[in-house]
Amino acid sequence: MITDTDKGNIGVELKRIVGDEKVYENEPMRDHTTFKIGGEADFLVTPETIEQVTELLKFFKENETAFFFMGNGSNLLVSDDGFRGVAVKLLDDFAGVTFDGEDDKGMHFTAKAGTRMWRLGMFLLEHEATGFEFGTGIPGTVGGAVMMNAGAYGGEMKDVVESVLVADRDGNVKRLSNEEMDFSYRHSAVSDNGYIVLEAVLCLEKGDKQEIRAGIDALTEKRRTKQPLDMPSAGSTFKRPEGYYAAQLIDEAGFRGRTVGGAAVSEKHAGFVINKGGATAEDVVALTNEIKRVVMEQTGVELELEVRKIGF
């Protein structure tokens, strides 16, 4: 918890670590999430180097400062009261992809955590690397995608990740193999252990550029026609329950188009809760809680949020 007394000192230290122009005080989180919802964080910082990230982590531990890491904010619901602590945003200042060469295992690429998934997809396309077509349209960053083993249309990050460079809460850096990442549906060792993803090494096969482009275009069109991409949301709201589809359960429970305040279940895809305009975090919480309650009553299936809640 940051008190008013501490705030000035913390601001000075944050600026020392990442530079004055990379520290934002009382920053509205609605400007940093795809939901366009959220109160102010005491501070938001945008580090550029691994050294800055590890120094921040050590500072947070030594000073018992609350913090969370984010990327594009595409899977976050931030409280209307904001966040009393420091939001660390790994995005364009902490991005980049390199081609590391090819061997008998495949083509190897290193992507920093803040790299947007579509940028990575375009880089891989230019290098004629196939296997990542599923990920190009995922609206987030490499760090977030690795943390939650993001997937779509039959592919998951676990299928393409060779190793991951992470930092622990003490600021120690280590590399984890694919096996050590313990990937499963929307889960990894990163979330279990509170690690911060710094970069990921991907291993892909050589492919045909036209075929890769056609695959990306086909999945993009499928997303465009089936998902409410024109409305603010945090993507798929609930995880897929084993043996079921969340969207189907929500639809059958009569929630398609249902609203609470400015939050609504999308008419286009019942698996998405959208911000129709002026939605608060409390609107979203009320709506998702009601969905969970009714689906449980009707089917006995417990829906679990896929969206990360911050500041509640």
Q: What is the per-residue pLDDT across 144-184, written as a single tens digit (0 to 9) for each?
A: 999 999 988 889 999 999 999 999 999 999 999 999 999 99
Query: What CATH number belongs to 4-91?
Result: 3.30.43.10
| Residue ranges of the chain assigned to CATH 3.30.43.10 | 4-91
Q: Is 296 left (phi over 0), alpha (psi -120 to 50) or beta?
A: alpha
Domain 95-226: CATH class, spelled out: alpha beta
Contacts of 35 (CB under 8 A, 6+ apart): 73, 76, 77, 78, 232, 233, 234, 275, 279, 284
Q: Would you call 186 a catalytic residue per the annotation?
A: yes
- What are the start and end residues of each CATH 3.30.465.10 domain in the chain? 95-226
Q: Is the pLDDT of residue 16 over 80?
A: yes
pLDDT of the residue at 4: 65
Mean pLDDT of 103-116: 97
| CATH 3.90.78.10 placement within the chain | 246-310
For residue 154, the model assigns a pLDDT of 86
**What is the predicted pLDDT for the residue at 152?**
86
Compute φ and ψ for 207, nearest 5 degrees: -135, -175
**Are β-strands 76-78 and 308-310 bridged in parallel, bridged antiparallel, or unpaired?**
parallel
Average pLDDT for residues 131-143, to the nearest whole number? Answer: 94
> Which among 40, 133, 199, 306 is annotated as catalytic?
306
**In the block, residue with structure tokens 């296997």:** 131
Lowest-confidence region among 138-142, 149-153, 279-283: 149-153
Contact between 84 and 2 under an 8 Å Cβ cutoff? The reply is yes
User: What is the pTM for the complete model shown?
Assistant: 0.93
Q: Which of 236, 240, 258, 266 is catalytic?
A: 236
pLDDT higher than 70, residue 5: no
Catalytic (active site) residue 252: no
- 116 annotated active-site: no
Give 243-256 pLDDT, tens digit per residue: 999 999 999 999 99
Confidence of residue 6 (pLDDT cuts 50, 70, 90): confident
2 pLDDT above the threshold of 80: no
Whole-number mean pLDDT of the chain? 95
Q: Which fold would CATH assign to domain 246-310? A: 3.90.78
Q: Is the pLDDT of residue 1 over 80?
A: no
**Which one of 84, 169, 186, 256 is the catalytic residue?**
186
Backbone angles phi, psi at 217, to 5 degrees: -65, -40
Encode pLDDT of 56-100 as tens digits: 999 999 999 999 999 999 999 999 999 999 999 999 999 999 999
In this predicted structure, what is the pLDDT of residue 49?
97
